Structures are given as C-alpha cells and as structure tokens.
Amino acid sequence: MPIRENVIVVGGGLTGSIAALSAAETGASVRLVSYKKSTLRFASGLVDVLGYPNGDGPVSDPFAALSSLPDDHPYSLVGEGAIRDGLSLFDEVTGDGYRGSHTDANALVPTYGGTVKPTARYPTASAAGLASDARSMLVVGFRSLTDFDARLVSDHLEAAGVPFDVRGAELSFPKEYRADAKVTRFAKALDTDEEIRFAGRSVGMREAVAETVKPRLKGAERVGFPSFLGDEHASEVRTDLESQLGAEVFEIPMGPPSFPGLRLEDALFAALDDAGVRISSGNPVVDYEADGDRLQAVYVDRKRTRVPYHADEFVLATGGLVGKGIDSDRSRVREPIFGSYVPHPSDRYDWFDTDAFGDHPFAKFGVVVDDEMRVVGVENSPRFSNLRAAGAVVGGADGAAEKSSSGISLATGVVAGRGAGASI
Amino acid sequence: MSDAETPADTTNPNVAQDDFEPVQVFPEAEEMDLRPGADNCYKCTTCDSACPVAEVDDEFPGPKFQGPEQWRLKRKEDEDIDASVMDCSNCMRCDNACPSSVPLSQMHNTARGEFVDEQMEKLSREYIRNRLLANYRTMAELGSKAPRLTNFVMGLGATKLFNEKVLGVTSEREFPEFAEQTFRGWWNERGGPQVRSEDKRVAYFHGCYSNYNTPEVGKAMVRVFEEFEYEVVVPKQRCSGTPMFANGMLDDAKRAAGINVDTFSGLIADGYDVIASCTSCSMSLKQEYPELFDLEGIEDVSAHTYEAMEYLRIHEDLQGALADSEVAGQTYAYHAPCHARNQGLDRQAVELFRDVDGVEIEDVGPSCSGISGTYGWKSEKYETSMKIGEEMFEHMHHASGNVGMTECPTCSMQMEHGTGYEIRHPLQVLEEALA
C-alpha cells in the first residue's frame, strides 16, 4: 500500500486546510486530497463567526449569541472553545495578513454591494475601511469593471447610516483594456507596476492610478478600491498608492475571482507545506474501501483509473452545495463519496421556502455528526469509526444567512483534524 | 460524439447518478460537436482567470468564450468558428479550474479542428508551418538520421532566417539538438529488456522528444523500472498527438492515435500497463484520445496509462526505497508543467525528493511556462509565450538552485531559453538516487 498516511483530509478549502493543519499538529502524517480549485476563489476573504443568529442581528458579540443556537447547530456541538481554537490557528497561519484578533466584537466591513458585514477577522488590506471608523471615505470604481459600482456602494453605505461622509467616483483605468477585462489584468498591471503612457509621459501603473484618483480625493481621508490591488505584491501596491495619495487605501471584497480569497488560499497552502502536509490535487475522490466499520482507503478517480489512498483516519471537508460536497437531484439529497446520511424531506417542494429570503431548509442540508465530528447514520451511531466531517458538508447551519460559514469551517475543522490525529 | 450517446458517467461525483431520464431534445449526433457539458457552464469565469494566454493578451477572449459560448453561437446557421481559437495554447488549465467539470479543452480541440478543416486556407503559410510543427516526429526522424549534420544546419543563421521569413518559425529559439543515438537505437543495441517478469510489466511510451532529443530520460526510465524488477517493453509508436491537437490537425492526430491504441491495447491484453515520461503524452493517451476519437480499445488504453513516477508511487513503496538514498548535493528549481498539473501530478516530484539526502527542491510556483509545445515556436506567438513565461523565469531566478527540473520537454526548452539553466527530468534524479 504505497500511498499511505495517518490522516487523509478530503477537500482543499478553508475547512480542509485547517483540519489538515490541526491533524499535523498532533504529529500525524497528513495528506490533503482535493479536486477542483476550492471555493476560496469565490470567497470574500472575510472570516465571520456569527453575525445573524436565527435570522436576527447583526450581533456585536458572536460569542454571546452562541447560546441562542439550536442543539444540532455545529457550534452547539463543538462549543465556544473550539471556535476560539480555530481562530487562533487561523491567526497563526495568516500572521499580519489579517486583523481582528484584538477583540471578541464583530468588525463591520463594507462589501461591494454597499452592505456592512459583521465579521471576526478581516484582511489587513481591508482594515482602513471599517464602517465603525469616522474618517471620510472615497470609494473608487473603474468603468470597465462592471461588477463593482462605486456610487452604488457609497449610496448604500450612506443609506445604512454609516458615521462618516462617503462619496463614490467612477473613473477610467489609466490603461484601456477590452470591455470585459478580467480583474486579474488590473491586479497584474499593479503588481508589476507596468510602465504605461499616461498624460504624455511614461509612468508606472501605481502612479498612474494614484494620479487618476487624486482630483476626486477632495480631502477624503481614506480611499476604497475594488479588491484587485495586486496579487503577490499586494501590500506594496497599497503602500505605494497611500504614499502617493496621502490617504489610507483599502480594498472592498469583490466577487469571483476574489483576490482576498486567493491570497488566503496561498497563505493556507504555504502553512500546509511548512507543516509537512502532503497535497494531491486535481482528481476527485469518488469511492472508498471499508473493512467492517473502518474505512481503509479512499479512491481517487484518475480518468478511468482508480488510485487508492490509504489512511487510518479520514476527514471529509468537501464543502456544501456550492462546493459540491452535497449533491442533489430531483428525488434526493446526498453526500456523493460515502453516501452518508443527509436528512431531508422526501418531497422536494419542502426543500425550500417560497420566500426568496426566507428560511430555506436546503441551506442547512448536510451530513450529521456527533460532538467529535464523527459522521453518524440514521440511528445516531457512527457509520465508520474513523470518518469525520467538517465545514459546509456538515448540516444544521445556514452559514450564508447567519454569516457563520468561516467560523464553522475553523471550529469543526480543528475538532475533526485534531480528533483524527489523536486517534492514531 | 455527443453526450446523448455517452453512458451514464459513474465516475464523476458532480453528475447525479439516478434513474432520471432527460428528454432528448437534440437529435442523435453522428459527428463530434461542441455541446457536451456546455450547459453545465454557469459563467463564473474561473476558467478565464486561470488562462495564461488571456492573462497577457488582452485580445484573447478566454476559455469560456472558446468553449460554451462558441457552442451557443454555432447553433445559428452559418456561424463560423471564431479565429481566436488558434490563440489558445492548449495548456488545458481551464479544465482544472472549472468547478462544474465542463470539458473545456475538449471543446477547444473540437473547435480548433473544425476551424482548421473548414476555415483555414490549406496553402497558407500558417497552415503549412503548423502542419510541419505538428508533425515534428516526421521531421525528427529524418533529422536524427544524421544528427550532427542536422544540428549544424539547424544552428545556421541562414536556416533560422529561412524558418523565420518563409515559415514563420521564430529565430529567437535554439533548435533542440538531436542526440547522437536515439533512445530506440540504444534500446535495440542493448538487446531490449534486461528483466523478464510475468506479473510486473510495463510498455514504455517514450514519445518523440526522449527518443530523438533526450534519450537519457528514456534510459533513466528503463533503468529505474528494471531496478524495481519490471519487464519493460518499447513497442513501435507514433507521436502522442499533442502538437496535432494544439494545431487543429485532428486527422493527423487520429491516424497517430489509431496506431498507438492498436499497439498498446494489444499489450494491455498481455498484462502490460502503459507508462510515459512526458506528461503531455500521458495526458493525450489518457484524456484527449477518448474525448476526441472513437477507436477500438481506447478506453482500455486510457485506463491503463500512467505517468512513470505516478505508476511507481501507486505500485511500489517509492518513498521507502528512497529513504536511505543519497545523491550528490544539488538544488533544483522545479516547474510543474500544465499537463502534469491537470493530472494532479504537480506536487509528486517535490514531495518525493524533499526527503532525499542531497536534494534541495523548490517549487517555482503555479505559472505556465508559456511555450506550450509548438505555440512558442511560432513567430507571431513568441512574444506572448515569453510574456507568460516571465513569472516562471523570475521565480526560477529567485529560487536558490540553478538547475531546473520538469517533466515536460518543451517546458524544459522554455526554462533553459529564459534562464540559461540546465534542466533535468525527475526520472534522471530518481535514477541517480536509486543507483
């Protein structure tokens, strides 16, 4: 059995990475197996613990609100300590790339829809944008970037009653790209400080962007950009813009491909490498081999070839409906790898609420786990004694509505990973 | 082939396995079209952000357009394939990026084939040049008859000028040298397999490059497998077809595939698995053949094809075998070829050599090398190719080693071209470690 580890974690997003790191901390040998690019490239990069419990909120202290959650909520299963452990592991991994660890209170971070999101940790790049800060703000958008409308953001922020003056300005990017230019182009131009012709001379892209923004500044103390201010050299891009504008510069998280999400993925994978976690990505796990109640191996599909990956312990961190850890057809909802029990009404018309923003049952679909994150069956007994699950594949929470997705990933990831590692 | 004919995909976790029968709204397609999987695209643009060409070429509309959108456009009568499909380098990164398993590269290959067949002028310089590049093996076979002469001629300024001006092959690059003796020549001279075995058998798909240009890679492969007591055979073979797919020469590719599939499927019946040392070759046999051609035995060949080191990792305790080994100290800057990345093999060399005494290995990051086989040899693509490669060159310079490592022959040309480093294949290092 050549490809063999103590622990195999299936899934390469926030949950899988945290589970693998937690398992590795116990001294176990760990391999992370992932299929496609993770949903982190769709993620805002904000790490929220709890903003709207049971549809109420926003709450200022997520920990104080934990007791109001139902018993089958993942937070109720793992408890406050696990959430704190998850956050401190996250802080360790991200270092000075993230802020928010100084307080239990939620920070309020503006989003590209102009809403204000209560969140526990936020990228340093977004730090100057907090809505609780009273300094005047200019939000800058670029015309060819249709996903981000600066005036809409500023209007919405104003309507939300933020305690500062905010204006929006739609500008032309100093270099013309095709109409549907990808944000990656803007990011790269800033990252490399591409030389361009601007106002009759040759200048670096960062300077050209600053010059474009300057006339609209009108005394604003901070300037928010869509989150494409560089990729590898993001903090350098920001510092350069700040010194040229004489104002603080911050990023407002955007839709996919999301640089804050991608940068977080880079930080996680670097931490995995440092921890000696082996990574196999690019092929899906499709099947398993078990001996009685113990899993022996998972099978990875290599285009008509099935490659076994053996381990003593397994963690399922494949995500929810978006990440495709949970799948559905017209007749049922299922977890596709192990066929784990996913409770759901038999009539599919009961899977959703008729109100678009209502309390949708489908949002909470997922596998059932015990307080050690072991996957259990219909009778509440572990299906396999060495299979745990974590993150969005676990049912019981509507992470998107509660603003709890990342916190659940961290808390359950730590419990599952640590438990798997400790069982060796 | 259309997905109306494809049997239920029992291996894809993203496809629901149930008894639900969709209404057949399209007539049974006899010919390949662009449709399979197009409806799964929900326009998230993840593929566009993974495309190395779109990253540097503002005019290139990206994989989402070349695949699913092209299909929708094509549903109108008299719509041509957009000429920009020829700017796709066939790195296939979009496949790996798509969260919905849309077979983008299959769609691009199909579209490119149709474009070349129906819209390209067969007497044009571009067509003739592409055909020559795609059929590298034919040229190589001639060239390798007199390697020294060929190397001399190809290195001449006059030859380069001719290639650039008449053919549109860039004069910026140095032609890869032909080896004094081909791999097959060496193989025959040594008298074929040195190990015979009933149950450990592999058939080597050496591809063109390790045969004509870097036989040392093929020799390393043979020695490593014989060290593990495998019987290695080296059947007659053609080009894997990779450069043909990339140039839309699907008829040429199908001919080559027919010969390869015929030979290798016969060997599979005798208990051999197919191994390749070039990740584009293994990708071709494993993925592109069954996606594009309907040939007898093709599924079998696909299911039994492996990259050489991948095969050892699955079947042997490679890590254990290397546990006590030691090599002369060397630091490598490793680049994972796109076609290794897409097969999930991008980290195996780093993982394996990290524990070998004497070897320092550093991954130079996820960027594409930019050469993409014949792509970077075309005069009009050279600049794009080098722009894509810039990130890799920069990372290589920053890496502590000044010897490069990669599985892909053309990536290695680009690495050498951009940095001047010597480049080795992981199998060569493996051979050294096991010796």
**pLDDT digit string (tens) for A96-135?**
999 999 999 999 999 999 999 999 999 999 999 999 999 9
Q: How far is CA A90 from CA A85, A97, A266, B317, in A?
A: 9, 11, 13, 35
Q: What pLDDT is recorded for position B34?
A: 54
Q: What is the DSSP letter of A45?
A: S
Cα–Cα distance between A413 and A316 in angstroms, integer? 10
Cα–Cα distance between A401 and A360 in angstroms, integer? 10
Subunit contact A36:B342, Cβ cutoff 8 A: no
Q: Among residues A8, A9, A12, which one has the least CA distance to residue A324?
A: A12
Element (H, E) at A203: strand A201-204
Write out pLDDT tens, residues A250-277.
999 988 888 999 999 999 999 999 999 9
Q: Name A77's Cβ contacts closer than 8 Å, sequence gap at least 6.
A: A369, A370, A371, A373
Asked if A35 contacts A300 with a C-beta cutoff of 8 angstroms, the reply is no
Tell me what the mean pLDDT of segment A147-161 comes to: 94
Residue B158's CB: how many other CB atoms inside 10 A? 8
Predicted TM-score of the model (pTM):
0.91
Asked whether the CA dihedral A185, A186, A190, A196 is positive or negative, the reply is: positive
Distance between alpha carbon B62 and the CA centroid of its chain, in Å? 20
Subunit contact A304:B306, Cβ cutoff 8 A: no
For A282, the closest of B14, B299, B341 (CB atoms) is B341
Q: Name B398's Cβ contacts closer than 8 Å, sequence gap at least 6.
A: none
Which residues of chain B are modeled with pLDDT < 50? 1-9, 20-25
Return the HEC string of A350-378. Answer: HCCCCCCCCCCHHHHCCEEECCCCEEECC
Which tokens is A10 given?
A: 């299936």
Cα–Cα distance between A43 and A406 in angstroms, integer? 10
- Strands lying side by side in the sheet with A222-226: A166-171, A137-142, A222-226, A248-252
For B299, the closest of A284, A301, A304 (CB atoms) is A304
Write out pLDDT tens, residues B40-75.
888 888 898 889 999 888 889 999 999 998 888 877
Write out pLDDT tens, residues A175-223.
887 766 678 888 989 999 999 999 899 999 999 999 999 999 999 999 9
Tell me what the mean pLDDT of segment A308-315 comes to: 97
Chain A: residue whose CA lies nearest to B9: A304
Residue A232's SS3 state is coil
Q: What pLDDT is recorded for position B24?
A: 47
Q: Phi first, then psi: give them for residue A31, nearest 5 degrees.
A: -125, 135
Subunit contact B16:A256, Cβ cutoff 8 A: no
Q: What pLDDT is recorded for position B29?
A: 52
Q: What pLDDT is recorded for position B23?
A: 47
Q: What pLDDT is recorded for position B401?
A: 87
Subunit contact A185:B55, Cβ cutoff 8 A: yes
Q: Does residue A311 surpass a pLDDT of 90?
A: yes
Q: What pLDDT is recorded for position B14?
A: 53
Cα–Cα distance between B104 and B36 in angstroms, integer? 9
Q: What is the DSSP letter of B181?
A: S
Percent of chain A, pLDDT > 90? 84
Q: What is the DSSP letter of A72?
A: T
Longest dimension (CA), chain A: 75
**Alpha carbon of A322: minimum distance to chain B alpha carbons (Å):** 9
Percent of chain A, pLDDT > 70? 99
Residue with tokens 């594409």: B368
| pLDDT class of A338 with cuts at 50, 70, 90 | very high
Residue with tokens 């977004």: A126
Q: What is the rounded average pLDDT for all residues in chain A?
A: 94
